[in-house]
Amino acid sequence: MPVCNLSVCIIAKDEEQMLPDCLKSIKDIASEIILVDTGSQDKTIHIAESFGAKIFQTSWEQDFSKARNLAISKAKEPFILTIDADERLVNPELLIQELKMATNDTAGWLIEVLSETINASGLREKYISNLLRLFRNHPDIKFYGAIHEQISESIIKLGFKIKNTQIQFYHLGYSLSSENMQKKQIRNLEILNKVIENGENTPYNYYQRAKTYFALEKIESAENDISISIENALPKGTLKPQALNWGAMIAYKAGKIELAKIRAKKSIELLPKQTFAHFILGEIYFNEGNYGEAFEHYDAMFDTDVHAKIIGDIVIPPEDIYYKKGRTLFALKIYKNALIEFEKGLNHNPKHIPCLIGSANIAYNLKKFEEAKNILQKAYEIAPDNEDIVKYLELVNKSISKAYSGIIQKSEYSSEKDILITLSMIVKNEEKFLSGCLESVKGIVDEIVIVDTGSTDRTREIALSYNAKLYDFEWINDFSAARNEALKHSNGRWILYLDADERLSEDSRKNIRQLLMNVSEDIGGIICTLESDHSLISGKTEIHRGGYPRLFRNYGYPSISFSGRVHEQITPSILALGKSLIFSDIVIQHLGYNRSREEMEQKIKRNYSMLIQHVKEEPLNAYAWYQLGQTLAHMRLIKEAEETIKFAIESGNLSNSVYASACATLSQLTGNQKKFEEALHWAEKSLEKAPEQMYANHLKAYALMYLGRLDEAEYAFNETLRIAKKKKGVPLSGFDIVVPEEAIFKGLEELYEKRKIKAG
């Protein structure tokens, strides 16, 4: 006998294969079973009758809500559970308990629906969604939507609460063959097309059709529909964040990364405690190599609430989230913490293949080959058909063999004939600087490759005197093109790229080769500190310090290549290969900004012309806009510089270091105009990305002082002084401008004077 007053409602058509197990899972708790049949030709009705179900037949009108509402209209009990034939109730005792504890203000209960699919690697992947399938029997509680029907809105409109539960369904509907899944999506599309053609062009129907187009990989159509849904969804309704999330997914699939970020961030503004938008941003930032941002979003996926679940937030199993956190820490070389995350994932699911492989990666990188082998063997026992695991085991076994034979102890660069480092350069009329550069790498590099873009002075003669391999290249206003030409001729295992006005510091010369001989294979680039003196209009100079990957593995052009007409970058190419970057103590001294005003103005004009061309070619490249803004500032076009840098920031795809630099520049520009509130705002935005940054702290201190917030200003000056005493190494922000200690003390003196005046 049933122990709760529950009507179980099912709609079905030709479900003789799935229906029996569904009915077995609910028969002991159902006071009545209602089945609406929409045209079965098999034994569906006979099976339902054998379980005592009440059968109601109707024609299929391509409207799931209509069929659902017919079923619930026949229910006699105070509570209703809707379930599909391909679902099974996992824990009926918990459902009974929830209904016993039901309060009068609650009318809906969310159920966890667990689905499994087989991915391309043959591994099972779990998906969890929260669906409102248990609710009170009330005449105004009805489903809406011809497909992917919903009932939550009607419950909310009545003023009832919806409760989250641990009641579970196990769903078999995604275990269909790819052909049957395709047919299912085409059926869904036909229904939605008909509904919209008949005038029901609601934001919800456009949203559902966009998801269907996405599943069918019709991305352009999906984008058209989701844009309509986002634009027309109620600002505070439950649909808006869902539409924004799927809009982000669709934009990401289309390669519109900035649009994807904007939509996901807007969704988080509307619904902070959710999973989906944080997942999307985590994936985007991880693929961009912005691992710090990625980790924050992955971590935020654990902090969700019932509001997110009501709107249909995706639920990712904890082991998958721990894996994503772990792989991000692994990319950052924080192996100890990465291992902790993988172990947390394995505590939830000891058979989780990604966490096992992540743990093996850590062991392998730490040269604990036996440990890596043991972990991989566990993974192999779980998934013996996974080719990636088999190949990884072969690699580990080879490493173990080499270790036993002693080969692993030798450097891969131990051969005298081997070319460890190639110095790769582009030059034009650099007779003044070139010798100094080449002297600084003498005895360090094994090969010098120089591409000349049209020298008419002694540059070529000097290059040849150092046994450089010299190549000609016609200058086409594109630094990357020239750099890539040099890469084509470079044979070293590693590439060091310098300009003629740069020198490798004496301390760096001592350790560079040893560093390269011991770095692990997954490291693609080594970040060096670039120090440069910048001449100011006042005649003084200030030291700028930035971190750049001036040393990188030679994977061969075009696998590794520079991008950007000016202020060219190698980092995107390294990250695209799945390789990581590490910091080092290597310092490169740059003389290029300490030239005469005439030389600097000529250089600025050249950069301006190239950057204008760059942003025309790539109007969504925020880095190019940022560099253009910096150049406009050097040209003293302050208003234009501000607008351009703000545009770069708003574009949303700047790395943390460039974002911090851009905000610091705006703080300086606005502070010079005595707009101190603005200056403070931008200094603080810069410090959000780079708190251990000398320059923005100094700008913040001055802004606070001129705003009369003297105690805060004093603290900021002291912070600047603290950071100034730790000048060694690459700045944590990726860039910084060195503030001389005497300048900080001068600021403190001015502050003390203001305090005396204020005290009277």
Q: What is the pLDDT of residue 727?
A: 53
* CATH number 1.10.3470.10 is the correct assignment for the domain at 6-175: no
CA–CA dist 659, 664 (Å, integer): 9
Provide DSSP, 242-294.
HHHHHHHHHHHHTT-HHHHHHHHHHHHHH-SS-SHHHHHHHHHHHHHT-HHHH
End-to-end CA distance of the chain: 88
- pLDDT for 691 equals 81
Q: What is residue 53's DSSP assignment?
A: P
Cβ(588)–Cβ(580) below 8 Å = no
User: What pLDDT score does 657 carry?
Assistant: 76
Is the previous residue joined to 619 through a cis bond, with omega within 30 degrees of 0? Answer: no
How far is residue 497's CA from residue 530's CA, in Å, rounded to a whole number?
A: 12
Tell the residue number behind the tokens 């179900």, with chain if given: 53
Phi-psi category of residue 167: left, alpha or beta, with phi > 0 → left and psi -120 to 50 → alpha? beta
Residue showing tokens 């990636």? 388
The answer to whether 232 and 196 have CB atoms below 8 angstroms apart is no
Task: Give pLDDT, residue 619.
Answer: 84
> What contacts 759, CB < 8 A, 6 or more positions away?
none
Is residue 171 within 8 Å of residue 113, measured between CB atoms? yes
- Please, is 73 exposed, middle or buried when counting C-beta atoms within 10 Å of its C-beta (0-12, 13-18, 19+)? middle
DSSP characters for 141-157? ---BSSSS-B-HHHHHH
Q: What is the DSSP letter of 668?
A: H
**178-316 and 417-594: identical CATH topology:** no
Yes or no: say if 107 and 158 are a contact pair by the CB < 8 Å rule: yes
Q: Would you say 364 and 520 are in contact if contact means Cβ atoms under 8 Å apart?
A: no
* Helices and strands per DSSP (H, E), number in the chain: 31, 18
pLDDT at 497: 96
Three-state SS for 6?
strand
Query: How many C-beta atoms lie closer than 10 Å to residue 16's C-beta?
Result: 17
Say how far apart CA 305 and CA 160 lie, in whole Å: 17
pLDDT digits (tens, 9 = 90+) for 135-165: 999 999 999 888 888 898 899 889 999 998 9
Confidence (pLDDT) at 598: 64
Region for 621 from its dihedrals, namely left if φ exceeds 0, alpha if ψ lies in -120 to 50, beta otherwise = beta
Q: What is the pLDDT of residue 448?
A: 96
CA 211 to CA 250: how far, in whole Å?
Answer: 9
Q: Topology of domain 322-409, per CATH?
A: 1.25.40
Integer-rounded Cα Rg, in Å, for the chain is 32
> Which helix (H) or strand (E) covers residue 229, if one does?
helix 219-232
| Distance of alpha carbon 202 from alpha carbon 272, whole angstroms | 26
Q: Determine the pLDDT at residue 517.
A: 81
Collapsed DSSP state (helix, strand, coil) of residue 754: helix
Residue type, 268: I
Q: Say how far apart CA 714 and CA 456 lie, in whole Å.
A: 54
- Report d(CA 700, CA 679) in Å as an integer: 7
Instruction: Please list the ranges in the chain whose pLDDT falls under 50.
Output: 1, 120-121, 406-417, 536-539, 728-734
The residues pairing with 168 across neighbouring beta strands, listed in sequence order, are 112
The CA-based dihedral angle spanning residues 646, 647, 651, 657, taken in that order and rounded to the nearest 10 degrees: -40
Residues 6+ apart with CB under 8 A from 303: 273
Residue 421's φ and ψ, nearest 5 degrees, are -125, 130
Architecture of domain 417-594: Alpha-Beta Complex (3.90)
Helices 638-651 & 622-634 angle (0-180, nearest 10): 160
The predicted structure's pLDDT at residue 599: 61
Check if the beta carbon of residue 435 is closer than 8 Å to that of residue 460.
no
Q: Which residues of 614-647 are buried (b: 16+ CB within 10 A; e: fewer)?
A: bbeeeeebbbbbbbbbbbbbbeeeeeebbebbbe
What is the per-residue pLDDT for 360? 95
Q: Shortest CA distance to 576 belongs to which of 559, 553, 552, 557?
A: 559
**Per-residue DSSP letter, 445:** -
Token couple for 145:
């939507």
pLDDT for residue 536: 47
**CA–CA gap between residue 1 and residue 606 (Å, rounded):** 86
CATH class of domain segment(s) 178-316? mainly alpha
Q: With 0.85 as the threshold, say if the pTM is over it.
A: no
Half-sphere exposure of 566 (CA within 13 A, CB side): 24
Q: What pLDDT is stored for residue 1 in this prediction?
A: 47
CA 187 to chain centre: 34
What confidence score (pLDDT) does residue 120 get?
47
Q: Where are the domains of the chain?
A: 6-175, 178-316, 322-409, 417-594
Dmax (CA) of the chain: 100
